[in-house]
Amino acid sequence: MRFRDQIVWVNVDESGRPLTDGEGRAEMKYREQDEKSYRPSARNLVSLTAAEATAPAPVQRPKPTARASRSPIKDGAGAPKGGAGAAGTVLGRVDMAGVAATDVVHVWTDGACSGNPGPMGIGAVVLYGPERRELGEYLGTGTNNIAELTAIERGLELAASWLGEAVRAEKIVKVYSDSNYAIGLLSKGWKAKANQELVARIREGLKPFRRLVFVKVEGHAGVAENERCDELAREAVVRRH
């Protein structure tokens, strides 16, 4: 979105409207990777044009304006809970204006680990229109971070196998995860200090997806599909299946 004369990152809902707190303020960042966020009034935010939405993000961070609150808020604050409409921090520049439900694939993922390291499981739920596919898989022994990364990989593989290879080029694919670690490595350019081969493999697998968006959701907060993924992952660990 645009805040005055700057293109900024804003926490939005499925329709592209800013999510607001009780005072009508939205969450805003000047750059995607910034840790600090600001809370301008939603009235001061303007939707981008299609050309602006697909343009590269600005490299330099401007000084915050006097009216932008410096109080940070948590990811997903003010977001509705449950289902494909649950919102989080959108990490991508895809113009959602006028997008039909048949053009969007929702990929929910979660990893679980009994001990860290310990037995790992993953869960994935893919939603496309009124239909859904689910996956639970036992991975063996490893860490929670490995499980979270692998869940994203398997979720995207499930979407492609179900809907065909064209999903990578034609559909908007929204990946929902509660893992800051996984989202940071796969969408923010974080350097992998561990699990380097796994991260490199997943990054390579992301390249064919032309309209990929990562959404950070809060874990164990009653978000329906996130909770379902957690259930699938834990069941996989228990059953070793």
Tell me the backbone φ, ψ of residue 65, rounded to 5 degrees. -80, 165
- pLDDT at residue 80 tops 50: no
pLDDT for res 53: 54
> Is there a catalytic annotation at residue 241?
no
Mean pLDDT of the chain: 79
Tokens of 163: 């809907």
Q: Could you tell me the pLDDT band of residue 82, with boundaries at 50, 70 and 90? A: very low
Catalytic residue among 14, 75, 153, 178: 178
What is the rounded average pLDDT of the residues 195-202? Answer: 96
Q: Which of these, 138, 151, 136, 159, lies nearest to 208 by C-alpha position? A: 159
Give the C-alpha separation, 12 to 24, whole Å.
13
pLDDT for res 51: 53
pLDDT tens, position by position, 102-158: 789 999 999 999 988 999 999 999 999 999 999 999 999 999 999 999 999 999 999
Per-residue b or e along 119-135, where b marks 16 or more CB atoms closer than 10 Å to that residue's CB: bbbbbbbbbbeeeebbb
Measure CA 119 to chain center: 25
Catalytic residue among 111, 123, 136, 142: 111
Domain ranges of the chain: 1-78, 101-239
What is the rounded average pLDDT of the residues 146-175? Answer: 94
Task: Identify the burial level of 177 via C-beta atoms within 10 angstroms of its C-beta, where 0-12 means exposed, 13-18 middle and 19 or more buried.
Answer: buried
Give the C-alpha separation, 31 to 9, whole Å.
6
- Strand 131-142, strand 212-216: pairing: unpaired
pLDDT for res 60: 41
> Is there a catalytic annotation at residue 110?
yes
pLDDT for res 25: 82
Under CATH, which number does the domain 101-239 receive?
3.30.420.10
Catalytic residue among 14, 27, 110, 227: 110
Catalytic residue among 83, 165, 220, 222: 220
Give the C-alpha separation, 206 to 203, whole Å.
5
- pLDDT at residue 237 tops 90: yes
Catalytic residue among 75, 148, 218, 225: 148
The residue with tokens 């915050």 is 64
> How many CB atoms lie under 10 A from the CB of residue 206?
17
DSSP string, 157-212: HHHHHHH-TTHHHHSEEEEEES-HHHHHHHHS----SS-HHHHHHHHHHHTT-SSE
The CA-CA-CA angle for residues 46, 49, 54, to 5°, reads: 115
